[in-house]
Amino acid sequence: MIAALAACGGNSKRVETDLAASNVTTIGINAYLWRASLDTLSFMPMLQTDSAGGVIVTDWYSNPQNPAERMKVTVSILDQDLRADALRVNASREVMSGGQWVGAPVQAATVQKLEDIILTRAREMRRDALMG
């Protein structure tokens, strides 16, 4: 009986099918960051999505509560690992002035908040996949 058990457990290599690893490369970039970015920006119209290059560009979006202001966001996923420095978010803002859209500054806190939301969502997705 001991010999049978030893034969079953003798190979310490465990077959791992950890689809929730931090390094997900099936699309060339981290899939969790990609999906979290799409989820986070889903309320905005998409202009361009390139999963191979890891780029998401939204079209201009105006909040119905504030139609005299609009935003455009670009997300770049720079690495295959789920890390904060693998994500770059850029935002542009315009305000209506004299009947024309005029460029306006975007607060750094706005961009940082978007990055934080995406990273938090990506980590939640990864955790759910590990537990799942």
Do 111 and 91 form a contact (C-beta atoms < 8 A)? yes
Which H or E element spans position 74?
strand 69-77
Q: Summarize pLDDT for 69-106 with one digit per residue, the tens.
A: 999 999 999 999 999 999 999 999 999 999 999 999 99
Tens-digit pLDDT profile for residues 30-58:
999 999 999 999 999 999 999 999 999 99
Task: Tell the residue number behind the tokens 């099936």, with chain if given.
Answer: 26
Measured in whole angstroms, the distance separating CA 116 from the mean position of its chain's CA atoms is: 10
pTM of the predicted structure, to 2 decimals: 0.78
Quote the CA–CA distance of 4 and 14 in Å, as a whole number: 18
